[in-house]
Amino acid sequence: MTTASANLTNRNTRTALIFAAVAAAMLGLGFASVPLYRLFCQVTGFAGTTQRVTEAEADTVVATSKVMTVRFDANVERGFPWEFRPAQIKDSVTVGARDMAIFTAKNLSDKPITGTATFNVEPEYVGKYFNKVQCFCFTEQTLQPGQEVRMPVLYFIDPAILDDKDAKDVESITLSYTFHPIAGETANGLDRTGSGS
């Protein structure tokens, strides 16, 4: 083999390895994109994603004199056989003070149904200041046929909102939930293949 031929073979091998490494990195990024996007939303409040805090973190927050209105919105995915609603449509809350909202859910079907709630706040840019200490949305919820339950949300609005030039004048925040069937289960209690769950 000539030197020129050996150099060409080495370059081709190196190019193939680079392309293989890039392809492997893109595949890995594809698998990591959902958790990374979720983490990004949780950290920044992007798209109205609320924050999750511990009791200990909540205990360090000092209430202010500022009062805001929080409105509550409850929805279910089309065909999902639950009735889901807030116990009250709105509440006046003190920024920095913990408050509780109650939602009720009822399974209208004759089968046990497991659902999970997605959530966001409006305006979206205040999501990073809306903190949940406890929420039914942190876990899947299973309701037996005809069962009705009360679902609490313990939350507070971070006083840092008052230092944000874009958010300090917000008077009202809407907290919205939508319940969906868990993956593999459709609204009527059958799995996605059509067989019973």
Query: Looking at residue 194, what is its pLDDT?
Result: 39
Over residues 5-34, mean pLDDT: 65
- pLDDT tens readout for residues 97-144: 999 999 999 999 999 999 999 998 999 989 999 999 999 988 999 999
Structural tokens at position 71: 């409105």
How many percent of the chain have pLDDT more than 70? 72
Whether the full predicted model's pTM is greater than 0.75, yes or no, is no
pLDDT the model gives residue 149: 96
Q: Are 62 and 88 in contact (CB under 8 A)?
A: no
Q: Does pLDDT of 154 surpass 50? A: yes
